[in-house]
């Protein structure tokens, strides 16, 4: 029933947040106001680039929107907004909208903006790493405290990295990791936060990541190199290929490129990187931290698409790198969608959601009842909490915490714990039940805090309030139109036939070509040619009679002249025949023939039924709208409308 809702919801979801301080009423339907901003948004979205604010286009859009609002008014009069099935579906959509809107507005957008700003700068980072060793955590803490003390006393960061760091790949370089670019991998968002909070030369930490603790020093910063799409030609140095020979080969290739040789062809012929040679040397998009420093520096020095480097040497051998393209990350609006997708799939989303909960608790004065909390935790059954047999504490139902005006009780907490039995029984049983309980309790608070904030969205965000209104009106519009027009028209066989007979002249076939598609299975190539020549002057029935249906088969197709592109290049002429397309064995062939050109002719109802029903629905819809205009008073503020006209 709601298959058409997607289109309307797309429009609704895009509703603008630009609410003018003085938003004049453009028109009213049954005293319900429609403001200029509401109409302008619909007008611009519906017309896209054609939204020129001409009088003609504005009038057309105004008429359509008035018709929409009339139908919504009728639906409300019929109390369709009270139907249980409609209310249930609407509430479901509203919940989905609230979930996505809140997360996008308060978490994803903030994280995407943060990432966008960080992506403007590459940071050269050094760290001192202490592994998270649960077996010897005391020793790790002692190391961390020693490092903190020595840093405070003025010891050099580089010396301490060489002495203490457990990152074998960087400790001998004083902890230097080189230049890094966001996003850091999952588990390292706290480290990224620390890095981008420090200035050049500053030291911070320790900061905890998925693998342990890090002390951080920012060694240098530079404008971000971004992401570049490249191809390469590689001549390896190995035990069998010495440096001099490899250098001569790469210089020869470079000389050929300078004379105009194709880079892809040279890569296919000569590159020793077999993984990319067959793809014209294509490596794809690269960013910093993936390849040798020299390789990256040479690649990112290329200024224009199509440029390539002079030969340069790395540990692998000699390279020539070509720039194919570079991603433009300068416009946030262009990259916003992809960044929001990235952050939504990263640990930072979970961290951001936790921060959102803390902000909600602070904004709405979260208050926990200490005595109720203690009574509940004291009653946790330590033997059964990790089992299906756990029963809620036998205590008086009381408020355990409040958020804003809402109070949440111990009974609600018990229900939450019961509803999460599967998760509860899978938790780490080596830990005390109280630890597992506290984790679930925090999730209970999180759920209630987010739910509370969702209930405040309409009050805090005018554009969200408009969205929910658009959702509701969309449901009502499609429900009432479905009942009054779409279903009624499609099932009214008498009305459809009467409408068809009155408008019969409208439903006609254009001039049509009868196109035959032949398949010939001959004994040999000579017979195949004979059948093809015979087909030029005879009908398919005569062809089958002479050579048999086993050898000659065909299908027919009627093509209207407006669809002449389906003729596979054949001219619009009776008797025209295509070339014979032979299979390699010479015995199987296919060709097409224009058997006849049929003049324009009237369609029967069964041939035009889909078009007739659509037109009948439009006809009934126009009658209905005129009736609605008599039922509900429409007032258009002509002065406000005129102010919208630009030409």
Question: Contact 500/612 with Cβ under 8 angstroms?
Answer: yes
Per-residue confidence (pLDDT) for residue 14, from 0 to 100: 38
How far apart (Å, rounded) are the C-alpha atoms in residues 177 and 288?
Answer: 12
- In SS3 terms, 241-305 reads as CCHHHHHHHHHHHHHHHHCCCCHHHHHHHHCCCHHHHCCCCEEEEECCCCCCHHHHHHHHCCCCC
CA distance linking residue 339 with residue 526, whole number of Å: 65
Q: Which residues pair with 121 in a beta bridge?
A: 223
pLDDT at 22: 55
DSSP alpha helix (H) spans, 301-432:
332-344, 347-363, 370-378, 410-419, 421-425
Residue 21 has pLDDT above 70, yes or no: no
Per-residue pLDDT tens over the stretch 424-481 = 888 887 788 898 999 999 999 999 999 999 888 888 887 788 788 888 888 899 999 9
pLDDT band with cut points at 50, 70 and 90 for residue 175: very high
| Rounded-to-integer distance, Cα 156 and Cα 238, Å | 40
Q: pLDDT tens digits, residue range 109-167?
A: 888 999 999 999 999 999 999 998 755 678 888 999 999 999 999 999 999 999 999 99
DSSP calls for 450-464? HHHHHHTHHHH-HHH
Q: State the average pLDDT over residues 331-346.
A: 85
Peptide linkage before 492 cis (omega within 30 of 0):
no
The CATH code of domain 228-326 reads: 3.10.50.40
pLDDT of residue 135: 59
Q: What is the pLDDT of residue 449?
A: 94
pLDDT of 611 above 70:
yes
Angle at 321 between CA 319 and CA 322, to 5 degrees: 155
Most confident of 21-35, 40-54, 88-102, 555-569: 555-569
Looking at per-residue pLDDT, the higher value among 315 and 346 belongs to 315
Phi and psi angles of residue 155, each rounded to the nearest 5 degrees, phi first: -65, 150
What is the Cα gyration radius of the chain?
37
CA-CA distance, 293 to 314, in Å (whole number)? 9
Q: Looking at residue 330, what is its pLDDT?
A: 84
Predicted confidence (pLDDT) per residue in 280-325, tens digit: 999 999 998 888 889 999 999 999 999 999 999 999 999 999 999 9
**pLDDT tens column, 564-587:** 888 888 899 999 999 999 998 889
**Taking a C-beta distance cutoff of 8 angstroms, is the pair 572, 557 a contact?**
no
Residue 350: is its pLDDT beyond 80? yes
Prior bond of 101 cis (ω within 30°): no
Q: Are 208 and 190 in contact (CB under 8 A)?
A: yes
pLDDT in tens, 63-118: 999 999 999 999 999 999 888 888 888 888 888 888 788 877 778 888 899 999 99
Query: Helix and strand tally (H, E) in the chain?
Result: 26, 20
Q: Does residue 407 carry a pLDDT above 80?
A: yes
- pLDDT(4) > 60: no
pLDDT value of residue 263: 96
Sheet holding 552-560, edge to edge: 552-560, 512-521, 588-598, 581-582
Selection from 578, 561, 560, 556 nearest residue 569 by Cα: 578
* Residue 31, CA distances (Å) to 61, 314, 467, 632, 635 in order: 20, 76, 21, 9, 8
How far is 547 from 540, CA to CA, in rounded Å? 10
Q: Residue 296 burial by CB count (10 A; 0-12/13-18/19+): exposed, middle or buried? A: buried
Where does 121-223 sit in CATH, by number? 3.10.50.40
Residue 134 has a pLDDT of 59
Residue count (the chain): 647
- What is the average pLDDT score of the chain? 89
Which pLDDT belongs to residue 220?
A: 96
| pLDDT value of position 490 | 87
Report the share of the chain in percent with pLDDT over 70. Answer: 96
To which residue do tokens 């403001």 refer?
Answer: 35
Distance CA 238, CA 235 (A): 10
The span from the CA of 373 to the CA of 579, in Å, is 87
**pLDDT of res. 159:** 96
Residue 178: CB partners within 8 Å, gap ≥ 6? 124, 125, 288, 289, 293
Q: Which of 196, 161, 166 is nearest to 180 (CA)?
A: 196
Alpha helices by DSSP H, listed for 34-188, are: 36-47, 55-77, 84-103, 109-118, 137-152, 157-164
User: Could you give phi then psi for residue 168, rounded to 5 degrees?
Assistant: -65, -25
pLDDT of residue 10: 35
pLDDT at 629 over 70: yes
Residue 108 is predicted with a pLDDT of 84
Residue-wise pLDDT tens digits, 176-185: 999 999 988 8
Q: What is the mean pLDDT of residues 266-283?
A: 93
The CATH 3.10.50.40 portion of the chain extends over 121-223, 228-326
Residue 13 has pLDDT above 50, yes or no: no
Q: Are 612 and 499 in contact (CB under 8 A)?
A: yes
Structure token pair of residue 300: 């990112």
Determine the average pLDDT of the residues in 253-282: 94
Percent of the chain with pLDDT over 90: 65
Average the pLDDT over 413-425 and give the result.
92
The pLDDT, as a whole number, for residue 336 is 87
Cα separation, 145 vs 217, whole angstroms = 17
The model's pLDDT over 487-532, given as tens digits with 9 standing for 90+, comes to: 988 899 999 999 999 999 999 999 999 999 999 999 999 999 999 9
Residue 9 has pLDDT above 50, yes or no: no
Q: Which residue has the higher pLDDT, 239 or 536?
A: 536
């Amino acid at each position: 029933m709601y298959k058409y809702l997607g289109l309307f919801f797309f429009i609704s979801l895009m509703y603008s947040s630009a609410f003018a301080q003085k938003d004049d009423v453009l028109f009213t339907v049954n005293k319900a106001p429609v403001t200029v901003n509401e109409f302008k948004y619909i007008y611009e979205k519906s017309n896209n680039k054609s939204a020129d604010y001409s009088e003609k286009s504005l009038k057309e859009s105004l008429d359509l929107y008035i018709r929409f609002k009339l139908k919504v008014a009728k639906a409300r009069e019929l109390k369709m907004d009270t139907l249980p099935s409609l209310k249930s579906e609407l509430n479901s959509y509203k919940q989905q909208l609230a979930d996505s809107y809140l997360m996008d507005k308060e978490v994803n957008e903030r994280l995407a903006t943060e990432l966008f700003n960080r992506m403007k700068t590459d940071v050269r980072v050094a760290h001192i790493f202490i592994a998270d060793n649960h077996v010897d955590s005391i020793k790790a803490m002692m190391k961390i405290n020693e490092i903190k003390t020595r840093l405070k006393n003025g010891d050099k960061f580089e010396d301490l990295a060489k002495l203490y760091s457990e990152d074998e790949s960087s400790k001998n370089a004083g902890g230097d990791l080189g230049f890094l670019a966001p996003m850091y991998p999952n588990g390292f968002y706290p480290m990224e936060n620390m890095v981008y909070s420090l200035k050049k030369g500053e030291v911070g930490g320790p900061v905890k990541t998925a693998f342990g603790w890090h002390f951080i020093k920012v060694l240098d910063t530079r404008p971000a190199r971004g992401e570049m799409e490249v191809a390469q030609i590689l001549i390896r140095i190995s035990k069998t290929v010495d440096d001099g020979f490899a250098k001569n080969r790469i210089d020869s290739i470079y000389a050929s490129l300078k004379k105009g040789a194709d880079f892809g062809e040279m890569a296919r012929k000569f590159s020793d990187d077999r993984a990319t040679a067959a793809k014209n040397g294509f490596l794809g998009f690269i960013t910093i931290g993936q390849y040798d420093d020299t390789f990256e520096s040479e690649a990112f020095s290329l200024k224009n698409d199509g440029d390539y480097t002079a030969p340069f040497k790395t540990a692998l051998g000699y390279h020539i790198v070509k720039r194919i393209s570079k991603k433009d990350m300068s416009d946030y609006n262009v990259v916003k969608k992809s960044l929001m997708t990235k952050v939504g799939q990263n640990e930072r989303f979970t961290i951001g959601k936790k921060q959102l909960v803390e902000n909600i608790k602070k904004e709405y004065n979260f208050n926990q009842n200490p005595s109720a909390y203690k009574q509940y935790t004291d009653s946790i059954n330590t033997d059964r909490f990790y089992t299906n047999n756990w029963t809620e504490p036998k205590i008086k139902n009381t408020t355990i915490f409040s958020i804003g005006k809402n109070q949440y009780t111990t009974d609600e907490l018990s229900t939450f714990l019961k509803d999460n039995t599967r998760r509860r029984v899978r938790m780490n049983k080596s830990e005390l039940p109280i630890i597992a309980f506290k984790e679930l309790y925090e999730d209970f608070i999180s759920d209630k805090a987010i739910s509370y904030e969702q209930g405040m969205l309409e009050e805090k965000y005018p554009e969200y309030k408009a969205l929910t209104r658009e959702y509701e009106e969309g449901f009502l519009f499609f429900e009432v139109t479905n009942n009054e027009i779409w279903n009624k028209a499609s099932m009214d066989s008498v009305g459809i036939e009467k409408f068809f007979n009155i408008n019969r002249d409208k439903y006609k076939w254009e001039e049509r070509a009868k196109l035959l598609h032949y398949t010939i299975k001959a004994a040999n190539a000579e017979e195949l040619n004979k059948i093809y020549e015979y087909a030029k002057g005879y009908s398919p029935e005569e062809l089958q009679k002479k050579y048999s249906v086993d050898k000659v088969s065909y299908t027919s197709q009627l093509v209207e002249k407006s669809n002449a592109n389906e003729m596979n290049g054949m001219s619009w002429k009776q008797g025209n025949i295509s070339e014979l397309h032979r299979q390699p064995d010479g015995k199987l062939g296919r060709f097409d023939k224009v058997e006849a050109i049929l003049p324009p002719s009237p369609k029967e109802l069964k041939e035009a039924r889909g078009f007739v029903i659509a037109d009948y629905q439009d006809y009934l819809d126009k009658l209905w709208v005129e009736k609605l205009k008599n039922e509900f008073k429409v007032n258009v503020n002509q002065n406000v409308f005129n102010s919208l006209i630009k030409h």
